[in-house]
Amino acid sequence: MAKKSRSGEAKLINRIVQKVGTADNWLLQRVLIGVGVFAVLFILLAVDFSPTAISGLEISKPSPATVKAPRSIEVVDEERTQELRRDAADQVEAVRVFDETRATKARAEVNAFFLRLTQALNNKDASETALADTVRTILPSADLESDLDWMVSLSAERIKTLRSQTNEITATFMAEKISAQEIDGKRDEALRRGQVMEDPRAGRLVGELAAGALRVNNVVDKEETNDRIRSAVDQVEPVTVTKLAGETIVTEGEIVTPVEAQILDELGLTNQLMGRTWQKTLGQALIAFVLVILGLVYLREFQPRVYRDNRLLLLLFVVLATVSATAKGLSPMFPPFLIPAAAAAMLTTILVRRTAGIMMAVTTSIVTGIIVSDSQYWVFAFVIGLFAVYMTSNISHRSDLTRAGLWLVLASGSVALVVGLMENETGVNLLVNGGWGALGGFGAIVLTIGTLQFLEYAFNITTDMKLLELANPTQPLLKELMVNAPGTYNHSIMTGNLVESVAPQVGANPLLARAGAYYHDIGKIRRPFFFVENQYGENPHDKTQPNLSYLIISAHVKEGVELAKKHRLPKEVVDIIAQHHGTTLVSYFYSRAKESAKHADVAEDQYRYPGEKPKSKEAALIMLADAVEAAVRALTKPTHNRIEQLVRKIIKERMYDGQLDECRLTLGDLETVTVGYAQTLTTMYHSRIEYPDPEKPARKRGVVVGHFGDQPIGS
């Protein structure tokens, strides 16, 4: 017992170590994929691989080489456009309005002066120096020697009269429109009005106070003026510079202008590493990093199966990198509409899932949009990407893919036309845009069809199209099964019909379920006559020991897996073959072994299948269908009630035996399976009516066999 315990502990520790090692390897792979995606995206965004790119190009310095345009291009001369817009803004006259509130403020200022003067003169405790300081503060131009005594002698009535005269002069001037250019002249005129008074000192006081209170009241309406400036600026059309294919952009030794540098940059003819600022490099690195993180978060939330599978993550990386690199290569020489960005969305939708395809459509539009530096292209790539996801989300035949491609060509051309309208294109240019868009859609479908089978094989992806091809009776393995084990072949077809009828109702893939059912017993090809459905006479097990018969029967699972791998069947189908019996008991030979052993104990474990329990819904459905189809075939009178009771019994046995613990089928799913299998089996194996023996007269059995006129014959 102690040895057994130590042996069990050693096995447990070994399994834990293996799992930890596998987890470390999985994590390392994931980190490498993430770093690889970031590095490739950053390089594609930041580095130009064009062989015609020139280094050392700087604005306002001589060009190191002569460069010609590889394709026609039109760019906006931002510097000249801004200059024209500034000129248009300068020519707009300011809108002026008469501000009546300025007169009220001037009157308030005059009144405030005389109030302070009155308060200063009424302060009997103030010294002459303090009073002089107050007067100087109120009226800086006052002659303190002559005016101070005069001010001290002013009566309240006199001060009131002076205030009235000052307000009158101020109101007279403020009733007119006074601009900033006129204010100085008006103030001089107000001073002269005061000088004509009889008392020079009173005239000087009134004139200076009135002049100081005057304000500009013909003011600019900033809101209306700004509106007119904006309108004038908007009317200035952008200045565009066009370079035709083959036309010289800049000659060697010529001073490079900003617009020439812009043309070279948009054509991808500048070495982007030269003169690069750290801010731009950091920005591109952050974009690549954010795209990687957002992609992983999206997959974790909406596609956890893909998120956990490094193989599928690597596939997404390869698809994105391929299309982005294609965009990098095409953008310097061709219009961006030719970029087959939709191919990434189509391949992802077909090979992975529709939700992953949506993510790929968004990511590809962002990356390729940054590469070509065209905001309008982002709209094109995004819309066409989503359309591609829609068109390929339910493809099951390769002919469907061709049909989807034709629609994609039409949609790409149409969206390119719309984008051209957004860019104010007209006439021939608009049609050219549509043509490039249609050609880009054609390129996307060609790239998709051309790489689909390669990616299926390289990443061992099982698509619905692949499953349909596997279910074709012309497949080599199925043909061999049909010839060498016809009974097994018929059983497999029946099993396929059963699982396909209920798979959609329990959330399983009906195509995978049917293909798995067709191949689940291919291991019986090796020794077909040891299986009862292929026997036509003597049963070889009658002369074989139970343990040897068990080994022969259970070996068909292992041999089926070997055959499947040899013929490169998809991993999902291989798993179904390995799991379709789980660890169930080979009960017939177990019972024979118990009978032969008489008083000796026979362990159940020695007569159980050495496979894995079903880990998918499809594998579990095939396990149950395999058992119930064989059992119902043995019923003598298969009525619906008897079939349903038998199906229910077998499913319960598998559930209580723990065979369904790892397949995610719920009790509700099992009830659906029970009802569905019973209904389908009843249709397959319902009782037939007993036809009359043609050698016996029908009249004696009271059977109507025909009519003569209105009289029945044979009744």
pLDDT the model gives residue 22: 47
pLDDT, tens digit (0-9, with 9 covering 90-100), for 75-99 = 888 888 888 888 888 888 888 888 8
Q: Is the pTM of this model over 0.85?
A: no
What integer is the mean pLDDT of 570-580?
92
How large is the angle between the packed helices 398-422 and 427-458, nearest 10 degrees?
150
What are the angstrom distances between the C-alpha of 211 and each of 110, 118, 148, 158, 180? 10, 20, 21, 20, 14
Instruction: Give the model confidence (pLDDT) of 138-160 as tens digits.
Output: 666 655 556 666 777 778 888 88
To the nearest whole number, what is the mean pLDDT of the chain? 81
Model pLDDT for residues 17-35, shown as the tens digit of each residue? 344 344 457 678 778 888 8
Q: What percent of the chain has pLDDT over 90?
A: 16
Mean pLDDT of 173-177: 86
- Please tell me the predicted confidence (pLDDT) of residue 655: 92
Which residues in 167-244 belong to E strands, given as ranges?
218-220, 240-243
pLDDT-based confidence at residue 121 (cuts at 50, 70, 90): confident
DSSP state of 346: H
How many whole angstroms separate alpha carbon 277 and alpha carbon 255? 22
Q: What is the mean pLDDT of the segment spanning 401-411? A: 88
The mean per-residue pLDDT over the stretch 453-461 comes to 84
Question: Where is pLDDT greater, at 269 or 461?
Answer: 461
**How many whole angstroms separate alpha carbon 348 and alpha carbon 9?**
45
Tell me how far apart the 2 most distant CA atoms of the chain are, in Å: 160
Task: Identify the pLDDT of residue 128.
Answer: 66
d(CA 580, CA 706): 52
pLDDT in tens, 262-299: 777 777 666 554 445 567 778 878 888 888 888 888 88
Q: State yes or no: pLDDT of 255 exceeds 50.
A: yes
Q: What is the pLDDT of residue 9?
A: 47
17 burial level (CB within 10 Å; 0-12, 13-18, 19+): exposed
Confidence check: pLDDT of 386 > 80: yes
State the DSSP code for 472: S
Residue-wise pLDDT tens digits, 200-220: 778 888 888 888 888 888 888
715 pLDDT band, cuts 50/70/90, is very low
Distance CA(100)–CA(177), nearest Å, equals 10
| pLDDT top residue among 711 and 232 | 232
How many Cα atoms sit within 13 Å of 409 on the Cβ side?
11
Say how far apart CA 101 and CA 115 lie, in whole Å. 21
**Which comes out higher in pLDDT, residue 477 or 282?**
477
317: pLDDT strictly greater than 50:
yes
Q: Answer whether residue 374 shows pLDDT above 80.
A: no
Structural domains in the chain, CATH included, are: 2-47+276-463 (no CATH), 52-77+244-271 (3.90.105), 96-220 (no CATH), 472-496+508-627+665-677 (no CATH)
pLDDT digits (tens, 9 = 90+) for 330-356: 876 777 888 888 999 999 998 888 888
| pLDDT (mean) for 116-142 | 69
**Among 293-307, 555-569, 696-710, the range of highest mean pLDDT:** 555-569
Q: Return the percentage of the chain with pLDDT > 70, whole number.
A: 84
In the prediction, which pLDDT does 273 show?
A: 46
